Amino acid sequence: MTLKQVADVEFPTRWACFRLLAFEAVHANTKTGTERLETVLALIFGDIHGFPPLVRIHSQCTTGEVFHSLRCDCHDQLHLALRVIAEEGAGVLLYEQQEGRGIGLIEKLRAYELQDRGFDTVDANLHLGHVVDSRDYAVPTHVLHFLGVGSIRLMSNNPEKIKAVLDSGIQIIERVGADVPATPYSSRYMSTKRNRLGHLINSPTDSPAKESDSVQDALLSEAHAEAAATGAGGNGDFRGGSWRIS
């Protein structure tokens, strides 16, 4: 993969004035085999090299972020990440164009139509002939390497994002939850993400800030087992909250 930086601009927002870098890369998706031009926007704030920065890898959601749809949590998660990065004084938000878990806007709307008929978000994708989640995080992780960021605090509830970052050789010293309140329209969707996709979404009685030790230990054990199976476990660092495969 050849990553190309195509823009570098000052980007003022309601939270802070970010530096926005735009990247392009032609990439063959490892889940679908489809090769296409992918774009990633990196919103950078503060010194991201003095200490492992807070990083959010966020997938585009036109329905939530443009039209403020209440069917999902994407809009609120995006705003949460930008606000927390600004409050902490440093961080990176990677905005990648993989709408609808990679199936695109129109197919996502077709999936919504099925959900209106009783399907959940997983079964709707499968009924349309798609995989459950076709996103491939290779381009965003390449951007992190381009930025010279080798150790991060990852804001995510998605185990696949955690695995993609670890597999790329980037160390995660902490997982920060991306929990936002559910609405009557999003509660089933969020329950499906938790119960069928394994997302680490806290229940209303859980603390929203940091994952529990038991969840972290489970992730560490899984990562360590996979590393051992692939022969990559010899140089892993699993002390404390630090997870590394390669």
Indicate which residues carry an active-site annotation. Answer: 133, 135
Query: Under a CB-based contact definition with an 8 Å cutoff, are residues 63 and 100 in contact?
Result: no
